[in-house]
Every structure is written in structure tokens, then in C-alpha cells.
Amino acid sequence: MVSEQRERILEAALEVLAARGFKGTSIDAVAERAGLTRQGVLHYFPSKKRLLLEVLDFREALHRENLSDRRVGEDWAGDFAEAVAFEQSHPSLATVHSVMLAEAVTGQEPAADYVQQRCRSLQDHLAASLTERYGEHLPSGLSAPTAAAAVLALVEGVHQLWLVDPEAELETDRYPRIVRDTVAVLLGTDSLADPAAEPGTHPAPHPHDPATGPAADLDPTDGQSLATNG
């Protein structure tokens, strides 16, 4: 359970990191955003690197919480669409992921190590889940590793598109719909979601289906698509 004070710091750090990146973020800036002293932040997070890693974990936890009402894994296309819809309604989650990804591409630590490990972990986890359900090849004909990489690349690319699309806020269902429809094609399955349902709504929870599917880990990116792939 995250304490109220700790969560306050993480939320403030998320906003600052999204705006400034790791290098541009300081403990003092986070403390100011959180309404605390520098020592108040350091009491919970003894270093800036530790704070960043905890923020990324916090981001993923928010994704898992958002998906907790879904029967995750029954409708993967809908699960990934919901993850994208959630980040569209919480832009700082997607922005901090994109900032960390940009820093990883240029080899900046600690983003580079985190992103590399997370990307591989996500692909392996999704590929294993697809193999468990469909075997070596999916109904679409793709191998499980190829489909896993393609799905995560799709979600990653969609994140970048809507972040720079000024119309995204006006047509909030567009990018989640693109993800839902394309994932269904990549997997070769019909989405179980109601075609009339908007992303952001959840089916009734099922007591025997906890949110443990691949989209729960994703941030999207991620939950985790630094992961989403974040």
C-alpha cells in the first residue's frame, strides 16, 4: 500500500519527469511540486535514480489498477485498446514514457538499462502468453514472438501519434479503436468486446479472472510499454 505522502511525491515526480526528463528533473523541483521540503522527498526516495524507477513502477501500477475490472486476457485487443484510452485520459503517463524512451535511445542512464530490460521482458511475456493459448502459430499465421513484437510496436507507435495529434483530445476513441482493430488482425481473432462499447468502459469483473494478462503488465508500453515497453 502506497502511503498518501509517498503517492503525492510520485504524482509530483511523474509530472516533473514528463515535462523535463531525467536530467532536467531535480529533487528540489519535485519537492516544490509536491509542496514538501527536499528532505521530505529524500526521506522516501534517497536518490533521483531511485525516484525515477519508483515512478515507472507507479505508472505500471496505475495501469494494472485501471484494468482490474476487466477479465484481462479474454479480449486482448480490447485490453490493449483500454490501456491506450487510459493513457490518453492521463497524458503525463504517456509523456513520461516517451521522454524515457527518447533518453534510452541516446544511451542515457538509468533510462537505457530500464527500457532495454523492460522491452525484452514485455515481448517475452506476451509471446509466452500467446504460445500458451494458441501454440507456436496464431490464427493469423504469425508466430507468437512475431505477433508479440508487432503488437508492442503498434502500441508504441500509436502513443507517439496521439501525443502529437492536436485532434486526439477531440476524437478520444480514434486511437484506442485503431489499436483494438489492428491487434485483432495481428492475432487473427475477433474482438470479444462489444463493437458499440467505448474504450474506457469495463465489462463486469469475474471472480476467477484477476488482471494478470499481458495488457495488465503493459503500460500498455505499461502498463508498461517502455516498457508500452513503459
Residues 123-138 have pLDDT tens digits of 999 999 999 999 999 9
Q: Tell me, rounded to whole angstroms, the distance of Cα 218 from its chain centroid.
A: 5
pLDDT at position 220 over 60: no
User: pTM of whole model > 0.85?
Assistant: no
Whole-angstrom CA distances from 22 to 147, 152, 155, 183 are 32, 24, 23, 32
Q: Which pLDDT value is given to residue 35?
A: 93
pLDDT at position 184 over 80: yes
